[in-house]
Each structure stands twice: as structure tokens, then as C-alpha cells.
Structure 1
Amino acid sequence: MHSRKNPLPPVVLGLEAGCCPDPASGRHLIYGRVFKNASDKDGNHHSAGHLREVPWVAIAPVVTAIRVLERIVPDGGLLFDAAVHAFQNAPAAPAASIRPHSLRGRIEAFAAWASSLARRLGRDHEVVPDDRHGAIGLARFRRTLAWHIARRPGGLVAPAIQYGHMRTAMSAGYAARGRDGIHELLDIETARATADTLTTLHDDLTNGVGISGPAARRAIHAAAQAPTFAGSIRTHRQARDILRNPALTVYNNPRAFLMCVYNRDRALCHRLDVTDAPRLDRCQPSCTNIARTDSHADQLRQHAQALEKQAASEAVPDPLADRLTRRAGHLLALADRHEHDCIHLQEPTS
């Protein structure tokens, strides 16, 4: 049913129409099958696979994509049925999933169609530009996925919503078992994100930006090493060397208005489990791994002002307005604490 060289894993290629029913409430869930190590009651390999015990959480764009595919394929059929998706000059056997060459062809055909539609509607700015690296293949989408997971924890990508910061989770799971798994790309993109964070911090501190928090001095020491590796992360080995260096584990978390200077022994985002990456969706205000810059303090004040404005609206019930006001006060207190405690690069760091 599936080619070993197909860039999409069997669990995706095996998805069927109806795999993502509309929920009565809450998030959409995707129900798929597991094919690896699937066996029947007699221990024989079960080629049809078994239904996953834990479904995936789906965000709106994913649900929309599934609905489009369901309109293309027969009821109960594979979402990526080769008999439906393959071009006419590339016939496929019944009940087979689409092959890599057909996927590439479909991607190129979609880009051409989208560009033609944009020109016809007079929206030339939405034409898909020619790619200097050649045709767009699915393997290149892995880089995009890795970028989002590394740089937008809890952001727009469904796995990020499901697992928070994903580098450790993905590396320990399915992706780590494949020779071309996404875990190496995740390491590279996470290392590059770390390098970019340290480079920006280094430049800010050099220009007199203040930094505060229990991990401020550790952040300063890490930023001092930024010029040695900025722009040089091209291989998995280089990325691994950076990620394994405990002095460089600095993650920017704009959603929490802070930086995490990660130390496993001090982290409050992990209470029982110990991993080599933080859970940026679980930042705790009392954690000793926290540092803030002037930029974070400005963001705290801006968000507090937005909350105060929302609380002052007549459309907001009094209990909610009280909570918003208290939250705004807390954020302003954090910003004031930064102004009082911040240190600068020219001050002694030891």
C-alpha cells in the first residue's frame, strides 16, 4: 500500500475520508491507523493496521484541508488515494496511496493554477514566484515544519499545539526511527533559533539594553559566545554541539514576555520528567531560569495597556473586568521590577 521512499509516513497516507468528524464541542480530532508492529490476535502482521489509541489534535487549516480531500475522494476512501490523485498517464493500483512523483506533480500543478487564478483576478502580487531551488517536493516541507516547531512553540502548527515545544518529543518518537526523520531538521532549526536569539541579545546588550531576572547573568555569558557560531550552523553535528552546550540554552518566549535560560535542575516546567528542552508553554513566573530585557518590559506594558482598555469597555462584565485589571497590574509590576533590577553589559558580570 505504501512505498518506503514515500516522504509521507504511512500513518498519514492511511488516513481515510471521515477520519476527522465534526466534534460536538472542543477541538477536532484526527483518527488514524498505526501500521508498524500491528498484528492480529494470533500475532500475525495486520496489514490494515490498528486504530491509534490517541488521536491527533487538528487546527482549522488542517480540518479545512481534510474537508477538501473528502470532496475529492470517495466516501470511506483514502484521502491520498492514488487512483484519484495520480495523473492519467501514471495509473496506480486500486486502494494504493499516492506516490512521490505524483505528489510533486500535484504541488506544481496547484502552484500553476493558483498563479493563473491570481493573474486572471488582477492580483499579480499573489502569484507564486518561481523557486530558484527548483520544484517544490514534500521533503522541503519538513524544513518549514521544523522551522515552525522550533520558533513558534504552541503556535500555528498542529503538533506544536498538541505537544508544546516539540524538539525532544519528536526526536524521541516516530521521526527518530527513520533515516531521514525530521528530528535532524528540528535540531538544526532549534540550534539556529538559539543562535539568532543569542546574536540579538548580544547586539542589544552591546547597545546598552538592560536585562533582569534570576538568569540574567547566565544570559549575558551565553550572549558573549554568539559571534563564534552565528551563521555557521549547516549540519546536524554543528547543531547538536550547540544544543548539548548547557551554557547556550537560551530560548526567547515572546508569548510569556521573557527568555528561558534553560537549566534542567532548576526548571519548573518539568516536575516529574527531565528533558533536554524546556516546555515554553509552561513557563512559571517563579522559575529561576527567567530573564527579561527592556524589550520584554515594553511588551509587558503594552499588553497591560491593552488589558486595561478591554476592562474599561462597557461590554465587559464586571467580574471579567476585575480579572483583566488584576492581570494588567501584575504585568505592570513585572515591568517595574525589571526597571528596578536590570543590569547592563558594562557592569561586572561575575
Structure 2
Amino acid sequence: MELLENLPAPRRSTTLFSDTTGQPATGPDINKAISAFVAFANDIAARHHLPGIAEDPTGITAGRLRRTIGPFIRNRPDGAFGLAVVYGHADGVIGAAYGGMKQSGSTRFLPRDTADHITATLNNLAASLAAGGGISGPAARHAVDAAATFAGAILTTKDWKKMLADPGIQAYDNPDTAVGCRFDPTTNPPCLNDTAQDARTEPDLANCQPHCPNRFHTDHHARDHQRLARQLDAWADLAPGPEAIRLRITATGHRTTADRHWATRIGPDGTPLPPPTDTASFPDSR
């Protein structure tokens, strides 16, 4: 989106805002912008002999675009607030921000997208375990059970409502901090604000705490921590003394988290798994 917004005026996308008033674009305006962008992208692709965007028999409308990008936005920390903006619920975002409700997990602005996030997390867990991967952390056993319980798909409104009502399968992925959450509000999760008055229905992934009893790690998370450790070590080599020390301490923390995972992970039956000989190439669903 940032790239599109910085295109020269004749090519600028109006998918988000009107060029003339700065107001949110309307549905018809967005539909026109989508068509113009598809034509623009296909023209560039043709010049570089690359595959373009295939013609859609029913047309790509604003509603379909929002539903397509919805899961990607929702899978980020505080993603429900981003979705609220995309879907036009700006008043809810402002109210939550000023009312101190953000820490309580966004109060489920868009429950279907929350269900989609949980579905993706559980499917990734099941696929990782089936491929020989493991899960570690305080909530590892609960995460394994949740992945085994879930049927694999939500097809109807009844399905996702049933999913959100089942406390045993509330699992979330937090890619920004390389950790998962098998959310259980009865454990008094430290990510939530004790003064919040609204229902605690999902975690605040932007406030994930290292001592939370709901945390779990997958092999994918462990490799992310290893990657971050290597990246921070490389930055430390170029940083001045005090900054280099801080970077190396943080890198050590990531490396310790990964090492602990490989040493304590369990498989689908709950039994300990031996550390793999090559953690970089060990199978994982993601």
C-alpha cells in the first residue's frame, strides 16, 4: 500500500482515500481503483515477460478484496484494530484506544476473522506435528490437544461461532515475537490489563509477556529465534560498544529460547522428542 500511495499522480492508487478530499474511498471508487491497478500490474508484467493477474470472471470488488486481505491483517498483533479500520469501524478503534480496552484483546470487532486466525494456527500446529515437529513451553500440552481436537476447517457461520465458544481450542500465533498462545483467560494472562472491564475473550498479542502460562513454541518459532540471534550478532559487529553489548545480550536471549525449545519439545502424543541433528532444516509446516 505504501508503494502504491507513492506512485506518481496518474498511477496513484485511490484504494484507500480520495485524491481530492482525503475522505475514505467509496465502494465504486475502490472497484475502479482495483481494475486500474490490475491493468497497471499486467502492463508491467507483460513488459518483463512475467505472469500477470488472471482475469476474474466475477470481478474483484471492494468486499472481496477486504475478505482476501483480512486474514493477513488479522494475523498481526492488534490485527483486529487494523481490520476495524479496513471495514470502516473507525469509531470502534477510537473508542477502544481512549477507553483503555485495547489491552483486553480488541473485544472481537470481527469474530469471523478471529476464527480464521485460530483455524490457521491450529492447522499449522497439526501439520507441523504430523511432519515430525514438536511443541514446547508452558502451554505445549494444551496446544497439542487443541490441534488434535480441531476438525480442520470452518465452512459456515455456525462453525466459527462454535469455534469461538470452545475454550479448549483458542490458539493464536504471534509471528512478531515468534511465539504461540493457547489462550486461557482463567490463568489471568499477564498480557491483559487487570483494570479492563470488558470480557477477556482473546489475548493482547502486542503485549505478550515471557512469563505467561499460555505460551508455546513450535519448531518454526525456534528457527525464527535462531535467525534473529544471528541477525543481532551481525548488527553487533558493526555497532559501537554499549549498543553492541545490548544487541548481543538480546541475541543470547533468542538463542536460549531456541535451545530450550529443542531440549524440551513434545510430540503429538505428549512424549518428549529428541533434539534434531539439524535444526535449520527440520521439517515444519510453515
Poorly superposed stretches of 4+, deviation over 6 Å: none
Is the 2:143–2:171 contact (alpha carbons within 8 Å) kept by the matching residues of 1? yes
Mapped pair 1:107 → 2:34: yes
- State the SS of the aligned residue for 1:255: coil
CA distance in 1, matches of 2:72, 2:257: 29
CA distance in 1, matches of 2:176, 2:18: 42
Measured after TM superposition, the shift of residue 140 of structure 1 is 1.4
The range that moved more, 105-114 or 261-270, is 105-114
The equivalent residue for 2:216 is 291
Listed one character per residue, the Cα deviations across residues 226-254 of structure 1 (whole Å, up to 9, x for unaligned) are 2x2x13x1333321211221111111122
Mapped pair 1:237 → 2:152: no
Measured after TM superposition, the shift of residue 106 of structure 1 is 4.5
Is the 1:168–1:276 contact (alpha carbons within 8 Å) kept by the matching residues of 2? no
When you count helix as a share of all residues, which structure comes out higher? 2
Mapped pair 1:259 → 2:180: yes
Mapped pair 1:306 → 2:228: no
TM-score by length of 2: 0.72
The equivalent residue for 1:324 is 247
Measured after TM superposition, the shift of residue 113 of structure 1 is 4.2
Residue type at the aligned position of 2:191: C
CA distance in 2, matches of 1:74, 1:150: 25
Measured after TM superposition, the shift of residue 108 of structure 1 is 2.3
Measured after TM superposition, the shift of residue 139 of structure 1 is 1.4
Mark the CA change 1:65 to 1:139 in structure 2 (over 3 Å): closer, same or farther: farther
Mapped pair 1:64 → 2:6: yes
Measured after TM superposition, the shift of residue 189 of structure 1 is 3.2
Mark the CA change 1:280 to 1:98 in structure 2 (over 3 Å): closer, same or farther: closer
Mark the CA change 1:66 to 1:189 in structure 2 (over 3 Å): closer, same or farther: farther
- State the SS of the aligned residue for 1:306: helix
Is the 1:142–1:185 contact (alpha carbons within 8 Å) kept by the matching residues of 2? no
CA distance in 2, matches of 1:335, 1:74: 47
Q: State how 1:148-159 maps to structure 2 within 5 Å.
A: 148-151=72-75, 153-154=76-77
Is the 2:13–2:33 contact (alpha carbons within 8 Å) kept by the matching residues of 1? no
Measured after TM superposition, the shift of residue 136 of structure 1 is 1.6
Q: State how 1:1-350 maps to structure 2 within 5 Å.
A: 60-61=2-3, 64=6, 68=12, 77-79=20-22, 100-101=27-28, 103-119=30-46, 122-125=47-50, 127-132=52-57, 134-151=58-75, 153-154=76-77, 164-166=78-80, 170=84, 174=89, 186-226=110-150, 228=151, 230-231=152-153, 233-265=154-186, 266-271=188-193, 272-273=195-196, 274-311=199-236, 313=237, 315-347=238-270
- State the SS of the aligned residue for 2:185: coil
Measured after TM superposition, the shift of residue 186 of structure 1 is 3.9
Measured after TM superposition, the shift of residue 149 of structure 1 is 2.3
Mark the CA change 1:144 to 1:321 in structure 2 (over 3 Å): closer, same or farther: same
Larger radius of gyration: 1
Residue type at the aligned position of 1:234: L
TM-score by length of 1: 0.60
Residue type at the aligned position of 2:200: T
Name structure 1 gaps, 5 residues minimum: 1-58, 81-96, 155-163, 178-182
- State the SS of the aligned residue for 1:256: coil
Mark the CA change 1:247 to 1:319 in structure 2 (over 3 Å): closer, same or farther: same
Name structure 2 gaps, 5 residues minimum: 93-106, 273-286
Is the 2:134–2:266 contact (alpha carbons within 8 Å) kept by the matching residues of 1? yes
Measured after TM superposition, the shift of residue 65 of structure 1 is 7.4
Residue type at the aligned position of 1:299: D
Residue type at the aligned position of 2:213: T
Residue type at the aligned position of 1:78: T
Residue type at the aligned position of 1:174: H
Listed one character per residue, the Cα deviations across residues 35-89 of structure 1 (whole Å, up to 9, x for unaligned) are xxxxxxxxxxxxxxxxxxxxxxxx845863797479xx999x4246xxxxxxxxx
Is the 1:165–1:280 contact (alpha carbons within 8 Å) kept by the matching residues of 2? no
Mark the CA change 1:285 to 1:139 in structure 2 (over 3 Å): closer, same or farther: same
Is the 1:146–1:186 contact (alpha carbons within 8 Å) kept by the matching residues of 2? no
Q: What percentage of residue pairs aligned between the two structures are identical? A: 28
CA distance in 2, matches of 1:108, 1:284: 44
Is the 2:70–2:83 contact (alpha carbons within 8 Å) kept by the matching residues of 1? no
- State the SS of the aligned residue for 1:124: coil
CA distance in 1, matches of 2:172, 2:79: 11
Listed one character per residue, the Cα deviations across residues 310-347 of structure 1 (whole Å, up to 9, x for unaligned) are 21x2x311111100110111112222222333223334
CA-based RMSD: 3.7
Measured after TM superposition, the shift of residue 188 of structure 1 is 2.7
